[in-house]
Chain A
């Protein structure tokens, strides 16, 4: 079997450059994060004070047989009260710290998500064509969530653990140098164990992740493909295939469990071994009278506080690894250039856009997709205000690409696309797109009502305007017939509408903004004579009083056009009116003959 394991996302390395790139997002909240660190340090100090008070109680009142029992008990109560204060204070600070971290961390995450979302919406169409929506969506969900781990658990917690280890070590040296030195010998052993472990775990974990991803992708597919599977009676084969992938993941999991089990056992054993060493050296010191019992206990308590952060440091690597991989993907995405590119230096912005019937002119326009073959080659024509230009020619000749250049969904390679004489690249993109409406062959529906789908959630367009657009195109009738009328929810993919109805809604969506230019990819007629009549009427109304560029699929549309362009292999091979082209007796005339042959 040919599994694309090697295609799996790069494993994030601990690259500090990511932190630098993350900084602009963290910066607005830096005060909050500083407060977090202060709280963390304070709670650490309080935590360290606990064992110290216990030592004082043990070496003081508990063993001080010289004083009266009464005063010894009083002293004990003072220490206990102190301990209570320190512990409660530590818990409170810990609580505030938790809230503070979240308050800041979650806002950073929100900002990152907002930025990534905004960026993806403004990237080039060709980028979207290469990256399916599902993949881009995981960037703003899963990957951004992983980033949260990096900020909350990763950086702050790691920092905290390091500080804690450092603080405890300092205290240990103050207590007893020999014991502390011994601890220092043991600590590298434990750290070395962690390092070896995490290398192995890294490999094992990567295998799990890629296999799990493969398995889950297959799970999604088998749900989507259930009808196909059923129709072919392949349920057993599909289940078996799933089981195979499931088993592979399971085997990979067992590897990681092995590493984890080994790691935890070894680290625990090393810690206990160190404990035994402590007992030996500490015990000898007590026997020699160099160390008091209370001090020994204090040392002991501090030492136990050490094992937590050391263990956590071993585990944080896994969290960081996922987070860094996500970081890499997010920043890679943000590097994708936004569209439109910033205006070239020296190109002045054209004045505020005019409204009203426009002239559209192509001057020597050429276009190629990234390093691909030429799609449009030196195309020139003019659509005077109010004119309809029809484009015909074989599939793949570049007709749809031509349409997408007018409203600057893509930019021309060479040449200019001009609207009212201005190069579209000099116009404000919003102004330009507001003047031009694009009707694609199929209607993309968003979750929401018919109303919102026609006005595209633009609340400044009121319901009356939407109704009027629906009336104009002849869609009002079937919208009224829907259970909740204009407020009816379009189903998840809008499968409830027929093709004719979808076309009418697409016209309504285009006309409701009252555009000056209509760019239309005419859909092929369906066997629905009722809808066909309506569509013809809607088309005529839509073209009236507007400049239009139409990829035509109907003879009637071409016949009525002011200018017909025949495009073959990206070049305009014939141009003229219906009559002129018929007289020429070229490709167009041949097309018309064939059309009549039906």
Chain B
């Protein structure tokens, strides 16, 4: 029964969407008996005609039968067209609604959940899995419906004609279902293995191509080929097993048709010879059987595909079952003064804290610099200000309220944010910049672009601001992406600006331009900049140097230089690097 429960779990959602479109579904389904009866009428007409012919009938009756059959064929075609169009269209609509629903749901999930989820896996659930469900649901309705009509109706008609011939055919039909029960689960299992194997291949290829410099420099090509060969072999084996199972299934379906014909020939022939049925009726039987073969095959196919769709459905449900972030809370007019008190924070599931005993306060309009090596907690601090994760109660205050009490969306609306890994959608550069304020004037947009020093990149892009970037367009360099991200943050007029290491891929000259841009655009706004580049924060009201999550040094630039600690040492080295790259020492 657990199998049944999982089946219900997998298909409940698509069927709920189907119910919303019950009208076309109903009409489509209602038309199935129409074309099924038109189809079932024909063998009978043929059988009777054949008997009439052998008994020496006349041209007039033959012509009448022909016209009637043509009419039936017309009706069948019309009904079949309509039901196919309605039902398959609806399955597309269901696919579409499920995708939309999933996207909306994903946007409510906790950020911590995304940290653990793998993008590739998520994407395949959003695309392939939902498409697979649609791929089963449409045909299931259309062909399943006609199988449900044709199979029982055909059987009843056959039984009413001659019980022994009908039963002989029935036995042959049943045989195939029993056999399928053994084949189909294995089919499912090996198809999963095959998918895993191709995923491994894809993973290695992706990595080797991304790290091509290392692969070539260290002469690792033969090694990678060998490792790929192993993966290829695994995939081959899985696929061959899969093919063998499919071949068994095909052979079964093929021989069922034959076995049924054999039953008709043997038992039916016997009945003809002993004079219980006519040859026309025998022919009628074969007509019914021919009609039933296609639904039978479709049924077989559906049975073979349902487990895969079921697994897909369950994977989709797993996503829907992840609990959303709690919603609601205070909706104050947020003034961005920030107070952090004895903040110690551990990521869910981690044992060592990412931040320890961090305290500081920042008045609205002030600038905070957060420095420290990778993993020292800079990004975590910024993420907590945005409440991408929940800090412990009573530790992080924005505008005088504990961030836990403020509605997350109201809190986030107070900050513009440029994340560590700048994210661009495959849209135009302009659309990516005005992401936050689509209706902004061109002047303001261009000012933000200049402040982020993005203007220097535009001449190099094919269509300037209208260049489409990303997956389906031009690939921007890391520095260009960062500049788009900074422009996006500077453009919005939110009172707080959070910059998370957004200058790491930028050369010294551009860096100086951006630092000046930040000064201009950031005036009057509360700015928190996490960075490795010390020059960015030299004018900050407060600088925190983080080490392993704790504040190692704090103060203004001048105080820290005098302190002769890690800050002063790093300042010296970074000044050297800038000088050797031909940039001028800032000397602030």
Contacts and interface: CB of A to CB of B under 8 A. Distances in A.
B176 to A, nearest CB: 12
B563 interface: no
Interface stretch (A26-34, A50-58, A319-327, A540-548): A50-58
Interface string A248-263: 0110011001101110
B419 A266 contact: no
B423 A224 contact: yes
A576 to B, nearest CB: 15
B512 interface: no
A98 B247 contact: yes
Contacts of A94: 247, 250-251, 254
A250 B373 contact: no
B123 A283 contact: no
B174 interface: no
A76 B269 contact: yes
Contacts of A72: 273
Contact of B279 (A242, A293, A397): A293
A446 B279 contact: no
A239 B104 contact: yes
B170 interface: no
A2 B412 contact: no
B258 A50 contact: yes
Interface stretch (A187-195, A348-356, A418-426, A433-441): A433-441
A249 B386 CA distance: 35
B159 to A, nearest CB: 22
B472 A598 contact: no
Contacts of B203: 447
Interface string B52-66: 011011110011011
B73 interface: yes
A393 B63 CA distance: 96
Q: Which of A57, A430, A458 has the most CB of B within 10 A?
A: A57
A570 interface: no
A196 to B, nearest CB: 16
Interface in A381-397: 392-397
A565 to B, nearest CB: 12
B217 A433 contact: yes
Given A92-B251, A221-B426, A594-B584, A232 B114 contact: no
Contacts, number: 477
A580 interface: no
B243 A106 contact: yes
Contacts of B50: 293, 296-297
Contacts of A243: 100, 103
A80 B262 CA distance: 6
Contacts of B106: 222-223, 226
A58 B285 CA distance: 14
Contacts of B283: 297, 300
B239 A527 contact: no
Nearest to A493: B421
A2 B575 contact: no
Given A91-B254, A456-B214, A304 B104 contact: no
Contacts of A495: 374
B223 A456 contact: yes
A15 interface: no
Contacts of A77: 266
A23 to B, nearest CB: 21
A569 to B, nearest CB: 11
B243 A61 contact: no
Interface in A489-515: 492, 495-500, 509, 513
B384 to A, nearest CB: 12
A229 B397 CA distance: 23
Contact of A217 (B373, B412, B413, B470): B470
A447 B77 contact: no
Contact of A228 (B214, B415, B419): B419
Contact of A246 (B56, B96, B107, B428): B96
Interface in A64-93: 69, 72-73, 76-77, 79-80, 83-84, 87-88, 90-92
Interface in A524-539: 524-529, 531-532
Contacts of A217: 426, 470-472
Contacts of A113: 201, 232
A137 B573 contact: no
B70 A141 contact: no
Given A232-B416, A554-B576, A446 B207 contact: yes
B374 A498 contact: yes
Interface stretch (B85-93, B298-306, B520-528): B85-93
Contacts of A234: 435-436
Contacts of B508: 395
Contacts of A99: 240, 243-244, 247
29 contacts: A54-B265, A62-B272, A80-B269, A84-B258, A99-B240, A99-B247, A110-B236, A132-B475, A218-B425, A219-B99, A231-B498, A235-B107, A239-B100, A257-B85, A261-B85, A272-B69, A276-B66, A287-B53, A287-B62, A395-B508, A433-B219, A495-B374, A526-B374, A528-B566, A529-B570, A554-B573, A568-B582, A591-B580, A598-B572
Given A76-B266, A223-B117, 8 more contacts: A110-B235, A121-B225, A221-B425, A223-B122, A246-B100, A269-B77, A284-B62, A497-B375
Q: Which 4 A-B pairs have the closest CB atoms?
A: A598-B575, A87-B258, A98-B247, A394-B582
